[in-house]
Structure 1
Amino acid sequence: MAGLEVLFASAAPTITCAQDALVCFLHWEVVTHGYYGLGAGDQPGPSDKKSELLPAEWNSNKDLYVLRYESKDGSRKLLVKAVTVENSMIINVLECGSQQVSDLTLNLNDYIDSEHLVDFHRAYKNSEELRSRIVSGIITPIHEHWDKASVSPHREFPPATAREVDPLRIHPHHPHTTIPLLEPSRVGVAVVLVHLTTFTSSPTAACHTCLPIIPSCLRCRRGGMIVDPLRSGFPRALIDPSSGLPNRLPPGAVPPGARFDPFGPIGTSPSGPNPDHLPPPGYDDMYL
């Protein structure tokens, strides 16, 4: 505890009670962790100066002690308040930049001998425990918060762009996406078909283990459906869009290749009466 005895000797004429001795110990602990004392009170004053000694009028109020500190590199400022409540002292420390707060409550009788305040070697009791409690309850929380803020001052990940968060965006299809390899000896044609329709829209994008057993008629096909009725290779009957109409549609009414549902049964001419289409019994009875 080098330096504490010198500090105590310099402040001994003004130490008159147990809380004075405890605040002197607290001041020494803050200074040993890289701070200078600036002055007493909440606001800076014209007489403020960086010093390792206690400022003037530091104990003018025995119920409330207010001290200000600044780190040696000038990056941090602390506001320390110690309030006396019966035989206890409540210490509150505010780091002015980050607004980080830490507090500690100490029992005066556990660490100060009020009967021997003039003797440094007898004034303090359990000094190592007192020092450990001040460090763990006040100094460490302030420094840990500061270290985290200095290491990651910004967000770890940049904010998502509008394109990334668009809920209506359809992601592009990548036909050459890697898919799990299958053992050729255990793969059947049915499994390959499921494999293809599940992982890719084109058989040519399948893994190399599937290609040797895919039927040749499937390898040259494109599209997501393995069995496509429109690309099966069999001739399809022409659909007359005028079916079911009394007159034929004018030329160009249905563009070539357009999807069109005819008005009536598929055929090349308007359909006439069908002997199978008999009216149901009593169809003309209005009371049915």
Structure 2
Amino acid sequence: MSADPLFGWDLTFKTVERDIKRSSDVLVAFIHWNLTKRGFRTIGIGDERTLTGDEDKSEVLPTGWNDNDNYTLRYVLDGKLYILHGLITNGNLIVNLMRSEDLAVSNLAVNIEDTVKAMSGSIDKMIPNHKELMFNIKRDLIGSITDRPTATVETQTSRNENNRRPPDDPLRVPPRPGLRPESPTRPDLWHMPEVNPYNVGRSDLDPFAAGPGVGGGGGMLFNPFGPRRDPENPGLGIPGGLPRGAVPPGARFDPFGPPGAPPIRGRRPPPDADHFPPPGNFNDHMFM
């Protein structure tokens, strides 16, 4: 193998010399030569992302590679498809190299006027700073994407790392006491029980009590026949002989009645404002 870093450039340029129309063509031809030096082979133009495996691979730029305003070339390396896009904007050539397998992209920006000084002649005449450009192409456009593992390899690596048990660390916080959460029959008592999110607030829609599986919350109204009813007085008490229905179920009501009415069995008699006279010399004969 030749030690000359520019070996093969003259032959590559001779194959496209008649096709050169503008300074950006010289840059694309130089980038193409750097790609072929590192194993890339072109399979045509366009941005088609499918690869059948029957494509003809070549070191020569395909016919029509510079017919459009921008550049789109397809390459193959190690059985993987790469697409090179070249866009001219504001006097710069913006080059993107995308790996179709995982959409990994590398970038390179080159000022055309400052880089290309002639469209024919030796490489020193056409691209005086070709050594710096070669370094940037190798580092930013080729190396940054070929040295990067594919997404499938990264996913597998991260999966293997997650499956590893952490090493014993004396500073690591010990696991919380409780049952092992791995077993469905032995849940972790430190965690809150799972609640169906669709049942949140359902008890407020049930006037008397929560529905099944909600958690035993109360409703908005008191159910006189529910578990909180008074077993000795299921009708909530009918104070003073009032007709049934005079006191709404669950309403706060101070029972009253005529003097001497027997209290309800099992309860203390309710307070009565008429038990004692007002203070002072007040006498309205109410207690005669």
| Greater Cα offset, 5-14 or 83-92 | 83-92
Are residues 1:107 and 2:126 paired? no
Unaligned runs of 5+ in 2: 1-5, 166-179, 192-274, 277-288
State the distance in 1 between where 2:15 and 2:51 align: 22
Give, in angstroms, the shift of residue 149 of structure 1: 5.5
Are residues 1:65 and 2:84 paired? no
Query: What's the counterpart of residue 22 of structure 1?
Result: 27
State the distance in 2 between where 1:86 and 1:152 align: 39
Secondary structure of the residue aligned to 1:153 is helix
CA contact (8 A) 2:87 2:94 kept: yes
Query: What's the counterpart of residue 120 of structure 1?
Result: 122
Secondary structure of the residue aligned to 1:89 is strand
TM-score by length of 2: 0.51
What amino acid sits opposite 1:120 in the alignment? S
State the distance in 1 between where 2:122 and 2:149 align: 34
State the distance in 2 between where 1:45 and 1:65 align: 19
CA contact (8 A) 1:15 1:21 kept: yes
CA contact (8 A) 1:37 1:55 kept: yes
Secondary structure of the residue aligned to 1:145 is coil
Give, in angstroms, the shift of residue 77 of structure 1: 1.3
State the distance in 1 between where 2:151 and 2:65 align: 32
Q: Deviations over 1:106-144 (max 9, x none)?
A: 101232113xx1213321220110011112211122122
TM-score by length of 1: 0.51
CA contact (8 A) 2:102 2:151 kept: no
Are residues 1:82 and 2:86 paired? yes
Secondary structure of the residue aligned to 2:17 is helix
Give, in angstroms, the shift of residue 13 of structure 1: 0.4
Structure with greater contact order relative to length (CA < 8 Å, sep ≥ 6) = 1
| Greater Cα offset, 22-31 or 145-154 | 145-154
Q: Name which of 50, 57, 81 aligns with 2:57.
A: 50
Query: What's the counterpart of residue 224 of structure 1?
Result: none
State the distance in 2 between where 1:55 and 1:82 align: 15
Are residues 1:132 and 2:131 paired? no
State the distance in 2 between where 1:104 and 1:81 align: 10
Query: What's the counterpart of residue 32 of structure 1?
Result: 37
What amino acid sits opposite 1:168 in the alignment? L
Give, in angstroms, the shift of residue 164 of structure 1: 8.2
Secondary structure of the residue aligned to 1:94 is strand
Secondary structure of the residue aligned to 2:64 is coil
State the distance in 1 between where 2:100 and 2:148 align: 12
CA contact (8 A) 2:102 2:150 kept: no
State the distance in 1 between where 2:137 and 2:152 align: 22
Give, in angstroms, the shift of residue 8 of structure 1: 0.4
After TM superposition, list the pairs within 5 Å mapping 1:1-288 onto structure 2.
1-43=6-48, 48-61=55-68, 63-71=69-77, 73-74=78-79, 76-114=80-118, 117-121=119-123, 122-146=125-149, 150=153, 153-154=156-157, 155=159, 156-158=161-163, 163=182, 167-168=188-189
What amino acid sits opposite 1:36 in the alignment? R
CA contact (8 A) 1:110 1:125 kept: no
Unaligned runs of 5+ in 1: 171-285
Q: Deviations over 1:31-90 (max 9, x none)?
A: 1122111101112799952001101100001x210000001x31x211100011132101
Alignment: residue pair count: 167
What's the Cα RMSD here?
A: 3.2
As a proportion of its length, which structure holds more helix?
1
State the distance in 2 between where 1:110 and 1:93 align: 22
State the distance in 2 between where 1:162 and 1:86 align: 61
